[in-house]
Amino acid sequence: MERHDVIVIGGGPAGLSAARRLRELGVKDVLVLEREAEAGGIPRHCGHSGFGWQSHRRNWTGPRFAAELRKSVSGIDVRSGTSVLELKKDGVISARNHAGHLDLRARAVLIATGARETPRAQRFVGGTRPRGVMNAGALQQHVYLKHHKPFERPVIVGSEWVSFSVLLTCRHMGIRPVAMIEQNARIAVPRPGAWVSKLWYRVPVMTNAKLVAVEGVRQVEAVEVERHGKRERIACDGVVFTGGFRPENALYMTGTFDSEELSPKVDQGFRCTDPAYFAAGNVLGPLKTSGVCWLQGRAAAEAIARSLA
C-alpha cells in the first residue's frame, strides 16, 4: 500500500490551495488526486472573468486562474485522471486510474471534492429526453473545453449568479438564449439582475414560471412552462438547468462515514467525525466563490499541519 503524509482529494481551488499551504508549512509528502484530465476544478471550464481576486488580487478568467493554481503546486505530486472510490477508516482510501486500482493511506486526508448542480432527474421535469438538455457545468465544458455549440436558442432555467455566468458563456459562443425562467416571484440575484439580463444580454426574465415539460424528438424543440396557473409553450432548441448546487458528497455517503448528511460534518478545525479526515471548499456547502474556497483550503491545511506536528 502506498503511504503519504497527506492526500488531498480534488484539485480545485480548495484542494490546490491546501496542497500549496501544506508545502509552505513544511509538510513534504503531499499527494493530490483529481478525477478530471487536468487539475483546476470548476474554474478550468469557466471562460469568463471574475476569478483570482482574493488569492492574487487579479481579475482573471477561470482557465487563467486554474493555470495559476496548477503553477502554485509545481513540485507536488498531482495525479489527474484518478478517481477516489472509497474512504475507509484511518485514512485508507481506494482509487482508480488508467493503470488500475490503487490502495493508499495517509496520516490525514482532505476531502475537497466541490459541489455539483441538481440534475434534470431530480427536478421533476416531464416530457421527452432529446439532445440539448444540460446543466451549466456541461455547457461550460462544451463551449470552453470543446469549442462546440450545443444549441442556438436555449432556455435558461434559474436566476442565480451561475445563471448569469451561463449568459456570458452563451454570448462568448454566439448563442442567443430565448428566456431565463425563474419559478419564484423574484429572481435569485439582486433585482437589477433582471435589467442586466434584458437590456445588456437581450434575454427576458420570466418569474413565477415553472418548467413542466421538455418537447422534442432528436433535439429540443420547445419547453412547456406553467405561469399563473396557465401553460405556455416556448420554442427553443436547448435547456440549461442552472444552480441548485449540492455538495459532491457521494464519497462521504459510503465507507468509514456511511452518512446520510448532505455534506461532511466538520469541527472548527475542518476535521470530520473520523479524525483522519478533513474537508474544505464547496463540499461543505453552500456554494461559495472560488476565492472563499481557496482561503478555506489554506485554513484547512493549517489545521492539518497542526494535527501532524
Binding-site ranges for ligand FAD (CB under 6 A): 9-15, 33-36, 41-43, 46, 50-51, 83-84, 112-114, 136-137, 140, 162, 165, 248, 251, 281-282, 288-291, 293
Q: Which is nearer to ligand FAD, 112 or 216 (CB)?
A: 112
Q: Which is nearer to ligand FAD, 50 or 238 (CB)?
A: 50
What is the greatest pairwise CA distance in the chain?
A: 64
Q: Which is nearer to ligand FAD, 31 or 181 (CB)?
A: 31
Amino acid sitting at position 171? R
Closest separation between CB of residue 80 and ligand FAD, Å? 9
Sheet holding 230-235, edge to edge: 126-127, 209-215, 222-227, 230-235
The sign of the CA dihedral 64, 66, 72, 78 is: negative
Closest separation between CB of residue 165 and ligand FAD, Å? 4
Closest separation between CB of residue 118 and ligand FAD, Å? 12
CA gap 288, 208 in Å, rounded: 26
Q: Which is nearer to ligand FAD, 138 or 213 (CB)?
A: 138
- Within a 10 A sphere around the Cβ of 103, how many other Cβ atoms? 12
Closest separation between CB of residue 62 and ligand FAD, Å? 7
Q: Which is nearer to ligand FAD, 162 or 181 (CB)?
A: 162
- Calculate the dihedral angle through the C-alpha atoms of 10, 74, 297, 89, rounding to the nearest 10 degrees: 50
Closest separation between CB of residue 175 and ligand FAD, Å? 15
Closest separation between CB of residue 229 and ligand FAD, Å? 32
Q: Which has the closest alpha carbon to 82: 93, 69, 95? A: 95
Strand 154-157 relative to strand 179-181, pairing = parallel
Q: Which is nearer to ligand FAD, 144 or 211 (CB)?
A: 144
Q: Which has the closest alpha carbon to 117: 136, 132, 102, 104? A: 136
Contact 289, 46 (CB under 8 A): no
